[in-house]
A and B are shown apart, each in its own frame.
Chain A
Amino acid sequence: MSLAIKAEGIFKTFRSGWRGKTRKEVLKGIDLQINEGEIFGILGPNGAGKTTLLSILSTLLLPDRGKVQVLDMDALTDGARIRERVNISSGNANFLWSLTVKENLHFYAMLYGLVGREREKKVNALIHLLGLREHQNVLFDRISTGMKQRLSLAKCLLNDPDVLFLDEPTVGLDPNAAASIREEIHTIQKERRMTVLLTTHNMREAETLCGRIAFLKEGEILTTGTAEALKRMVRVGDVVRIEFQGEILEDELLRADGVINYSISRNFCEIIVDDGEKRLGSLVSVLSQGGAEIRKVTLRQTDLEDVFIELAKEIDSDLGLRL
Chain B
Amino acid sequence: MYSLNLQRRLIRIWAFVFKNWLITKRNIFSLFEIAFWPVVGFFSIGLLTTFLELDANMSGFILTGIISMSVIQVCQIDVAYVLLYDLWSKALKHTFIAPIRSFHLILGSWLIGVMRSFVVFLLLSIFSALAFSFDFLRPGLGPLCLFLFGLFLTSALIGISVCILVLLFGYNAEVAAWSMVSLLYLVCGIYYPVSILPFPLPEIARAIPLTYLLEYFRSFYGFKSSSGNCLGWGFGLIGVYLILEAFLFKIVLHRAKRTGTLLRLSE
Interface of A toward B, CB cutoff 8 Å: 14-15, 51-52, 55, 58-62, 80-81, 83-84, 86-88, 90, 92, 94-99, 103, 106-108, 110-115, 119, 140, 155
Known: A112-B99, A115-B7, A119-B11. 14 other contacts (CB 8 A): A60-B96, A60-B262, A83-B97, A90-B266, A94-B90, A95-B94, A96-B91, A98-B27, A99-B22, A106-B18, A107-B19, A108-B98, A110-B14, A115-B8
Measured CA separation A14–B15 after assembly (Å): 33
- Contact A88 B97, beta carbon cutoff 8 Å: yes
Q: Which of B90, B99, B254 has the most CB of A within 10 A?
A: B99
Q: In chain A, what residue has the closest Cβ to B27?
A: A98
> B residues 72-122 with Cβ under 8 Å of A?
85-86, 88-91, 93-101, 104
Q: Which of A84, A94, A110, A114 has the most CB of B within 10 A?
A: A110
A–B Cβ pairs within 8 angstroms, 30 of them: A14-B259, A15-B259, A52-B260, A58-B97, A61-B257, A61-B262, A62-B254, A62-B257, A80-B101, A83-B99, A88-B94, A88-B97, A92-B267, A94-B89, A97-B88, A97-B89, A98-B22, A98-B27, A99-B19, A99-B22, A107-B15, A111-B15, A111-B95, A112-B98, A113-B7, A113-B12, A113-B99, A115-B7, A115-B8, A115-B11
Q: What residues of chain A lie closer than 8 Å to B93, measured between beta carbons?
A: 55, 60, 88, 90
- Contact A61 B98, beta carbon cutoff 8 Å: no
Q: What residues of chain A lie closer than 8 Å to B262, measured between beta carbons?
A: 60-61
| CB-contact partner of B12 in A14, A55, A103, A110, under 8 A | A110
Q: What residues of chain A lie closer than 8 Å to B101, measured between beta carbons?
A: 80
Measured CA separation A92–B91 after assembly (Å): 10
Measured CA separation A106–B9 after assembly (Å): 15
Counting residue pairs across A and B whose Cβ atoms lie within 8 Å, the total is 97
Measured CA separation A88–B266 after assembly (Å): 13
Interface of A is mostly: mixed
Measured CA separation A154–B89 after assembly (Å): 18
Q: Which of B8, B18, B93 has the most CB of A within 10 A?
A: B93
Measured CA separation A58–B99 after assembly (Å): 12
| A18 CB, min distance to chain B CBs, angstroms | 15
Q: What residues of chain B lie closer than 8 Å to A58, measured between beta carbons?
A: 97
- Contact A87 B97, beta carbon cutoff 8 Å: yes
Q: What residues of chain A lie closer than 8 Å to B26, measured between beta carbons?
A: 98
Does B207 lie at the interface of the complex (its beta carbon under 8 Å from any beta carbon of A)? no
Q: What residues of chain A lie closer than 8 Å to B263, measured between beta carbons?
A: 51, 55, 60-61
> B residues 176-195 with Cβ under 8 Å of A?
none
- Contact A95 B91, beta carbon cutoff 8 Å: yes
- Contact B258 A62, beta carbon cutoff 8 Å: yes
Q: Which of B9, B86, B91, B104 has the most CB of A within 10 A?
A: B91
- Contact B89 A61, beta carbon cutoff 8 Å: no
- Contact B257 A155, beta carbon cutoff 8 Å: no
Once A88-B97, A113-B8, A115-B7 are accepted as A-B contacts, the answer to whether A99 and B23 lie under 8 Å apart by CB is yes
- In the complex, the 10 A-B pairs of residues with the closest C-beta atoms, listed nearest first: A113-B8, A110-B15, A111-B98, A94-B90, A83-B99, A84-B99, A62-B258, A62-B257, A96-B89, A97-B89
Measured CA separation A113–B98 after assembly (Å): 10
Q: What residues of chain B lie closer than 8 Å to A80, measured between beta carbons?
A: 99, 101
| A39 CB, min distance to chain B CBs, angstroms | 20
Q: What residues of chain A lie closer than 8 Å to B9, measured between beta carbons?
A: 113
Fill in one digit per residue for B20-64: 1 if any A CB lies within 8 Å of its CB, else 0. 001100110000000000000000000000000000000000000
| CB-contact partner of A59 in B14, B86, B89, B97, under 8 A | B97
Measured CA separation A52–B86 after assembly (Å): 20
Measured CA separation A55–B18 after assembly (Å): 28
Q: In chain A, what residue has the closest Cβ to B108?
A: A110
| A80 CB, min distance to chain B CBs, angstroms | 6
Q: What residues of chain A lie closer than 8 Å to B104, measured between beta carbons?
A: 111
Measured CA separation A86–B18 after assembly (Å): 24
| CB-contact partner of B260 in A14, A95, A98, A106, under 8 A | A14
| B250 CB, min distance to chain A CBs, angstroms | 12
- Contact A110 B89, beta carbon cutoff 8 Å: no
Q: In chain A, what residue has the closest Cβ to B19?
A: A107
Q: What residues of chain B lie closer than 8 Å to A111, measured between beta carbons?
A: 12, 15, 95, 98-100, 104
- Contact A107 B18, beta carbon cutoff 8 Å: yes
| A269 CB, min distance to chain B CBs, angstroms | 49
Q: What residues of chain A lie closer than 8 Å to B90, measured between beta carbons?
A: 94
Measured CA separation A111–B254 after assembly (Å): 20
- Contact B27 A83, beta carbon cutoff 8 Å: no
Q: In chain B, what residue has the closest Cβ to A80?
A: B99
Q: What residues of chain A lie closer than 8 Å to B12, measured between beta carbons?
A: 110-111, 113
Measured CA separation A46–B28 after assembly (Å): 41
Q: In chain B, what residue has the closest Cβ to A87?
A: B97
Q: In chain B, what residue has the closest Cβ to A63?
A: B258
Measured CA separation A97–B254 after assembly (Å): 27
Q: In chain A, what residue has the closest Cβ to B95?
A: A111
- Contact A155 B259, beta carbon cutoff 8 Å: no
| B186 CB, min distance to chain A CBs, angstroms | 32
- Contact A94 B266, beta carbon cutoff 8 Å: yes
- Contact B259 A103, beta carbon cutoff 8 Å: no
- Contact A60 B257, beta carbon cutoff 8 Å: yes
- Contact B23 A110, beta carbon cutoff 8 Å: no
Measured CA separation A182–B85 after assembly (Å): 31
Q: What residues of chain B lie closer than 8 Å to A15, measured between beta carbons?
A: 259
Measured CA separation A95–B23 after assembly (Å): 13
- Contact B94 A108, beta carbon cutoff 8 Å: yes
| B182 CB, min distance to chain A CBs, angstroms | 27
